[in-house]
A and B are shown apart, each in its own frame.
Chain A
Amino acid sequence: MSRKETEGVCFEKREQVDAILAEYEGKKGTLIPILQEVQNLYNYLPREALEYVAERTGVPIAEIYGVVTFYSLFHLDPRGRNIIRACQGTACHVRGGKSVLQALEKELGIKAGQTTKDLRFTLETVACIGACGLAPVMQINQDTHGRLTPEKIKTILAGYR
C-alpha cells in the first residue's frame, strides 16, 4: 500500500479509515473486509472514503465501484437509522404485500430503495424472509411484524420515530 499523494486528503473520520487500512496493510484479498469495516463506520460508503481506499490500496476506483455495486450488502448512499424490509415473496404477495408496501411508501414519502430525508428510515423490499405463516410481513431492523394491513403501518412506524 502506498501513501502517495494522500497526505493532504481530508474528510470525515479519516483517522478511523487509516486505522482500518493499517489493520489490513500488506495482506492480500482484503478489499471486501476493508469495505465492510468502512461501511460500518459511516453506515454507507461515501465517495471520498472509497477514493481514499483506492489511492491507498492501489485498487482502481472503477474496480472498487464494481465490487460495491455487485454486492447488495454495500451502499453508496446514506442509510436510515431504521431499515425496513417489506416482504414481496409469493405468500406475502398473495396476501396483500403490495398494498402494505404502498402504505409504507405513502407514509414515509419515499419509494422502495430510498431513504427519508431525516435519515430515520430506509425502505427496502425482500424476496422472502421465511415467515410466510405471518404473511404479509415486514422486518424493521431485527423485529418482525406480521399479519399486516395498510391501516397498521402508521402505528407501527410511530414506535420507531
Chain B
Amino acid sequence: MTTINLTINGQPVQAPAGTSILEAARQAGIYIPTLCYHPELRPEGACRLCMVEASGSRGLAAACVYPVAEGMVVKTNTAKVREARRTVVELLLTNHPKDCLCCQKSGDCELQKIAADLGVRKLRFEGGEKKSHAIDDSNPSLVRDQEKCVLCGRCIRMCRDVQGMDVYSFARRGFNTIVTPAFGLGLGQAACSLCGQCSTVCPTAAIVEKDDTDKVWDALSDPDKFVIVQTAPSVRVALGEELALPSGSVVTGKMVAALKQLGFDKVFDTDFSADLTIMEEGHEFLHRLQNGGVLPMITSCSPGWVNMIELKYPELLPHLSTAKSPQGMFGAIAKTYFAQKAGIDPAKIVSVSVMPCTAKKAEAARPQLCDSGYRDVDIVITTRELGRMIRSAGIDFAALAEADFDSPLGYGTGAGVIFGTTGGVMEAALRTVADVVAGQSLPKVEYHEVRGMEETREATLNIVGTEVKIAVVHTLAAAKKMLERIKAGEADYHFIEVMACPGGCIGGGGQPVPVDASVRRLRREALFGCDEASIIRKSHENPDIIALYKEFLGEPLGEKAHHLLHTTYQAQRR
C-alpha cells in the first residue's frame, strides 16, 4: 500500500493512500469536528462541519470525504475554517428547538457538544422560518422528533447498509428536506424492526428510545405493588458507561445494589432464564434433528430479528425456534412459579426488565406473552434508561458495595451470560446439547469455532458422533442474506443463531452511546470474562433450573413448559 506524506497543522503525518483527511488527522491526534460522519458508516460529506483548508482544494475541503494526497498541506484551525464551521453550526441551531435543558439526549448530544466546543454564543440568523413536525410516537420502542433532525443521514445509512431494512430516506428538497419513512409513516406503521440501531447513531434526540422510566417510578412508589426486575446479560458490561466508568467494566454487583436502592422488591437475573431458554431450545433442536423437523432451526431471542422475519420473510417462520426469549420466559415464570413459591398474588407483581434493546419493549407488548394469565413483562427499560434512573436517584454508583441477585430466579450460569454476545446463544446451546446427547458432562466447555465478530460465521461440529453444521449471524443485513440463501436451498445448516444488532446484545439499540467496534469488543471480552469466572458454565447444570423443572415444569418440552415457555409467530403486515 502506498504511503502518503502530508502535513496537518504543520505536523508531518503519514497515511495510507485513500485515507480521508479526517481519518489521517484523527490518527495523528488532531480533532476535527464532524456531524454526518460516523466511524462505522460510509461517509457522505453532507454536513460540511468538517471543513478544513487543504492545498489542492479550491474552497474548503470536507475532511471526511477528501482523500489525502502527497505533499498536501492541511490546516484545520484557521480563521476561515473556524468561521465556516461556526456558520454551519449556527444555521443548524437556528432551525433547532432550544430545549436542551429538558432534552432526553442532554449530555449525550453531539450537536450540543459541537456548539459548546466551537464556542457558539449567539445566533446571527435568528428569526427565519422554522420547521414544525409532529412527534412520531407510533410504536412501543422508539420516538422520533423531526424538529431535532439535523439531516445528517446517519440513520438512513445505518438502517440501509447495516440493517438492510431501508426504512428511511431523504424526502422533499431544499429547506423542506426531511428524513422520513415512506409516506411520512410512523415507525410503527413502516416496515421497521424496532431494533433501535438508528437511535444509537443519531447525533441528537431526533431518534430516541421511548422513555418508560416514569412507569417504573410509579410502580416503585405504589405500596400495593410487588416490583421485581430482571437484568439482561449484556447490561452488566455496558451500564458502567452510563455512569462514568470505562467501557468493558463489569458492574454486576453494583447494578444489583443500585436496583435495590431504587426500591425493587426482588432483583433477578435474565441469565437464569437464558439458561431456561437453552433447556427448551436445545431440546427443541434435538427433537427437530431426530424427528425430521424443519431445519435449519433458527434462534428467536432477538426481537428485532423476529420482527424482521415476520415482516419480510413470513414464509420462513417455521424455521424459528418456538422457544420464547429469555425475557419472555422470565416473565411467564415470575408470575407463576415465583408468585406461588413466594406466596404473592401475581396480580400485584409488576415485572420490570432492563434490556440492551429497544425492540424488547415491543416484544413485551406482544399478545402472545400473556401466558401467566397476566401481561408477563409489564415494563421494559433500556440500559440507557436505567443509567438515567440511577443518576436521577443520586446514587454514587462507583462507590456502591456489590450486592447479590435474589433467589430463586437470580442465578445464571456462564452459558446464560454469554447470551449477550453474537455466538453466545449458539455456544450455550452446544454446551447443553452435547452433554444431553452424550448422557454425561463432557469436559468441553468452550466452542471457539463459533466465536468471532465476522457478520456470518459457520462451522461443522462433531457432537458425539453426529455432524452438526451451524452458522452464527449478526446484523439484519447479514440475516437477510442468510434467509435468501435458505430460500434458494443453499443453506444446509442444522442450527443458526441470529441477532439483529452488530455484535449481538452488547451492541444493542438500547445500549449506551457512543458505540463503535472497539467499545463492543471491550463489552464482549467482559462477558466472556464473566463466563470464565463462573463456577457453573452449562445451563442444564444450573441448580435453580434443575429445581424449577423438578418442582414445577416437569420435562423440557413437556406440557407445562410448552404452555409457558413456547410461543407463536405471525406475519406482520405494515
A interface residue numbers (CB < 8 A to B): 47, 50, 60-66, 69-70, 76
Q: Judging by beta carbons under 8 Å apart, are B172 and A62 in contact?
A: no
Q: Judging by beta carbons under 8 Å apart, are A70 and B172 in contact?
A: yes
Q: Which residues of B contact A47 (CB under 8 A)?
A: 183
Please measure, in the bound complex, the distance between the C-alpha atom of A64 and the C-alpha atom of B171, giving whole angstroms: 9
Q: Judging by beta carbons under 8 Å apart, are B173 and A62 in contact?
A: no
Please measure, in the bound complex, the distance between the C-alpha atom of A62 and the C-alpha atom of B167, giving whole angstroms: 6
Minimal Cβ-Cβ distance residue in A for B165: A60
Q: Does B166 contact A (CB under 8 A)?
A: yes
Q: Does B288 contact A (CB under 8 A)?
A: no
Please measure, in the bound complex, the distance between the C-alpha atom of A62 and the C-alpha atom of B181, giving whole angstroms: 6
Q: Judging by beta carbons under 8 Å apart, are B172 and A60 in contact?
A: no
Q: Judging by beta carbons under 8 Å apart, are A66 and B183 in contact?
A: no
Q: Does B182 contact A (CB under 8 A)?
A: yes
Q: Which residues of A contact B170 (CB under 8 A)?
A: 66, 70
Please measure, in the bound complex, the distance between the C-alpha atom of A65 and the C-alpha atom of B190, giving whole angstroms: 13
The minimal Cβ–Cβ distance linking B391 to chain A, given in whole angstroms, is 36
Q: Judging by beta carbons under 8 Å apart, are A65 and B182 in contact?
A: yes
Minimal Cβ-Cβ distance residue in A for B173: A70
The minimal Cβ–Cβ distance linking B31 to chain A, given in whole angstroms, is 33
Q: Which residues of B contact A76 (CB under 8 A)?
A: 183
The minimal Cβ–Cβ distance linking A43 to chain B, given in whole angstroms, is 18
Q: Given contacts A60-B160, A61-B182, is CB(A66)–CB(B166) below 8 Å?
A: no
B153-183 CB contact bits vs A (8 Å, 1 = yes)? 0000000100000111111110000001111
Please measure, in the bound complex, the distance between the C-alpha atom of A66 and the C-alpha atom of B173, giving whole angstroms: 9
Q: Which residues of B contact A61 (CB under 8 A)?
A: 166, 182, 191
Besides A62-B181, A62-B190, A70-B170, 14 more A-B contacts (Cβ < 8 Å) are: A60-B160, A60-B166, A60-B169, A62-B166, A62-B167, A62-B168, A62-B169, A62-B182, A65-B180, A65-B181, A66-B170, A66-B171, A69-B172, A70-B173
The minimal Cβ–Cβ distance linking A16 to chain B, given in whole angstroms, is 22
The minimal Cβ–Cβ distance linking A127 to chain B, given in whole angstroms, is 13
Q: Which residues of A contact B181 (CB under 8 A)?
A: 62, 65
Please measure, in the bound complex, the distance between the C-alpha atom of A69 and the C-alpha atom of B191, giving whole angstroms: 19
Chain B: interface secondary structure? mixed
Chain B contact residue count (CB 8 A cutoff): 15
Between-chain CB contacts (< 8 Å), 25 pairs: A47-B183, A50-B182, A60-B160, A60-B166, A61-B166, A61-B191, A62-B166, A62-B168, A62-B169, A62-B181, A62-B182, A62-B190, A63-B166, A63-B169, A64-B182, A65-B180, A65-B181, A65-B183, A66-B170, A66-B171, A69-B172, A69-B173, A70-B170, A70-B171, A70-B172
Minimal Cβ-Cβ distance residue in B for A72: B173
Minimal Cβ-Cβ distance residue in A for B315: A5
Select the residue from B167, B169, B191 with max chain A CB neighbours within 10 A.
Answer: B169
Q: Given contacts A47-B183, A60-B160, A62-B181, is CB(A69)–CB(B171) below 8 Å?
A: yes
Q: Which of B314-334 contact A (CB under 8 A)?
A: none
Minimal Cβ-Cβ distance residue in B for A50: B182
Minimal Cβ-Cβ distance residue in A for B314: A5
The minimal Cβ–Cβ distance linking A6 to chain B, given in whole angstroms, is 13
The minimal Cβ–Cβ distance linking A143 to chain B, given in whole angstroms, is 29
Please measure, in the bound complex, the distance between the C-alpha atom of A70 and the C-alpha atom of B183, giving whole angstroms: 13
Q: Which of B224-245 contact A (CB under 8 A)?
A: none
The minimal Cβ–Cβ distance linking A7 to chain B, given in whole angstroms, is 12
Q: Which residues of B contact A62 (CB under 8 A)?
A: 166-169, 180-182, 190
Return the contact of A65 from the options B160, B169, B173 (Cβ within 8 A). B169
Please measure, in the bound complex, the distance between the C-alpha atom of A61 and the C-alpha atom of B180, giving whole angstroms: 11
Please measure, in the bound complex, the distance between the C-alpha atom of A128 and the C-alpha atom of B181, giving whole angstroms: 33
A-B complex: 6 closest residue pairs judged by Cβ atoms: A60-B166, A66-B169, A62-B169, A65-B182, A69-B171, A61-B182
Minimal Cβ-Cβ distance residue in B for A54: B182
Q: Which residues of B contact A66 (CB under 8 A)?
A: 169-171
Please measure, in the bound complex, the distance between the C-alpha atom of A62 and the C-alpha atom of B190, giving whole angstroms: 9
The minimal Cβ–Cβ distance linking A92 to chain B, given in whole angstroms, is 22
Q: Given contacts A47-B183, A60-B160, is CB(A65)–CB(B166) below 8 Å?
A: no
Minimal Cβ-Cβ distance residue in B for A66: B169
Q: Which residues of B contact A50 (CB under 8 A)?
A: 182
Please measure, in the bound complex, the distance between the C-alpha atom of A63 and the C-alpha atom of B182, giving whole angstroms: 8
The minimal Cβ–Cβ distance linking B570 to chain A, given in whole angstroms, is 16
Please measure, in the bound complex, the distance between the C-alpha atom of A63 and the C-alpha atom of B559, giving whole angstroms: 48
Q: Which residues of B contact A70 (CB under 8 A)?
A: 170-173
Q: Which residues of A contact B182 (CB under 8 A)?
A: 50, 61-62, 64-65
Q: Which residues of A contact B167 (CB under 8 A)?
A: 62
The minimal Cβ–Cβ distance linking B321 to chain A, given in whole angstroms, is 24
Please measure, in the bound complex, the distance between the C-alpha atom of A60 and the C-alpha atom of B181, giving whole angstroms: 10
Select the residue from A61, A62, A65, A66 with max chain B CB neighbours within 10 A.
Answer: A62
